[in-house]
């Protein structure tokens, strides 16, 4: 297996630390006037999402983690697993469990494309696109005339997410939503 030394640590590099695959977020080189140099490395544990800082002696190395980020379209959920298929024409399918789907669970729509992170060929996380377009399945009727005041109300989307929307939004409308903030962007139709 390939290894990477601290001076090769770059943002986005995937390494194995204490047995878990981690993504490097930041790497800072520090050295006293005379003496041992260190690297303060910020990492995200890809299994549990935890972000923390680990200090290494400069020159130490870590094993590369077999982590791949792949575009896949969402197929269906069989109550235990969420099934995805590669978009590269291979028709290869993968099943994500509840822990892996967590970040995308509120934003799933069949046939939409998600970034599935595979570790040793198993999905460990699913990242939704920054913007999704999903239909409203439940919301109170809007009060006419209040639209200019910028009032808002909750609306439930077909994916299960609850989003704050303007009062003019009705059941059946398709909304564009920013998945990073959960904020309503506009009405698509």
Which residue ranges make up the site for another protein (CB under 8 A)?
A: 7, 17-18, 28-38, 40, 52-60
For another protein, which is the closer residue by CB, 32 or 141?
32
Report the residue number, 3 or 122, with the smaller CB distance to another protein.
3
Judged by beta carbon, residue 56 or residue 84, the one nearer another protein is 56
Q: SS3 sequence, the chain?
A: CCEEEHHHCCCCCEEEECCEEEEEEEEEEECCCCCCCEEEEEEEECCCCCEEEEEEECCCEEEECCEEEEEEEEEEECCCCEEEEECCCCCCEEEECHHHHCCCHHHCCCCCEEEEEEECCEEEEEECCCEEEEEEEEECCCCCCCHHHCCEEEEEECCCCEEEEECCCCCCCEEEEECCCCEEEEECC
Q: Which is nearer to another protein, 30 or 143 (CB)?
A: 30
Q: Which is nearer to another protein, 58 or 152 (CB)?
A: 58
């Amino acid at each position: 297996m390939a290894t990477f030394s601290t001076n090769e640590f770059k943002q986005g590099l995937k390494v194995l630390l204490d047995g878990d695959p981690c993504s490097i977020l930041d790497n800072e080189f520090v050295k006293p006037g005379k003496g041992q140099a260190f690297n303060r490395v910020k990492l995200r544990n890809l299994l549990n999402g935890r972000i923390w800082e680990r200090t290494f002696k400069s020159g130490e190395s870590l094993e590369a983690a077999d982590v791949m980020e792949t575009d896949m379209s969402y197929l269906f959920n069989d109550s235990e697993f969420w099934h995805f298929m590669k978009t590269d024409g291979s028709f290869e399918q993968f099943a994500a469990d509840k822990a892996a789907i967590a970040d995308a669970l509120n934003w799933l729509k069949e046939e939409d494309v998600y970034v599935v992170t595979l570790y040793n060929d198993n999905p460990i996380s699913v990242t939704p696109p920054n913007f999704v377009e999903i239909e409203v399945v439940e919301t109170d009727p809007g009060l006419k005339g209040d639209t200019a005041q910028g009032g808002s109300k909750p609306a439930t989307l077909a994916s299960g997410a609850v989003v704050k929307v303007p009062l003019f939004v009705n059941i059946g409308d398709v909304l564009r939503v920013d998945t990073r903030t959960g904020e309503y962007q506009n009405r698509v139709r």
